Amino acid sequence: MRCYPFILNDPFFMLDNATNKDDRFAILSEQIGEVANAIKKMSQNQLDVAELYKEVMEVEGFDEATLAHAFDYLVDKERVAKAFIVKSVKLKKLWLKDFLNRRESGY
């Protein structure tokens, strides 16, 4: 039998050629673990909207309407929102001032 490298990584090929039930269970267990890890990575990368709201609304020096508008903007711009969450209080204020200036200038 000629062996091709891509076949060795094929889960169905591996299951069909497992020599006993223990081998099959080990292969299935490994595959389920890989799926679980992929799901975990995806969920860790999602934006926590409640945390974002808390972080935006805690910034002092801005009225509630401005903060709410910034929050709505950030929810639409997930990557910007993730960066906002991890910034220091000083950098959050600078971002909000810039956001307010852009909003007032129509940008």
The C-alpha atoms of residue 14 and residue 63 are separated, in whole angstroms, by 61
Average pLDDT value for residue range 2-31 = 65
Q: Which pTM was predicted?
A: 0.59
Domain ranges of the chain: 5-44, 49-104
Asked if the model's pLDDT at residue 89 lies above 70, the reply is yes
The C-alpha atoms of residue 63 and residue 67 are separated, in whole angstroms, by 6
> Which residues touch 38 (CB under 8 Å, ≥6 apart)?
none
> Which residues touch 96 (CB under 8 Å, ≥6 apart)?
59, 62, 66, 67, 70
The C-alpha atoms of residue 59 and residue 98 are separated, in whole angstroms, by 14
pLDDT digits (tens, 9 = 90+) for 18-58: 567 777 778 878 888 888 777 776 666 788 999 999 999 99
pLDDT-based confidence at 9, cuts 50/70/90? low
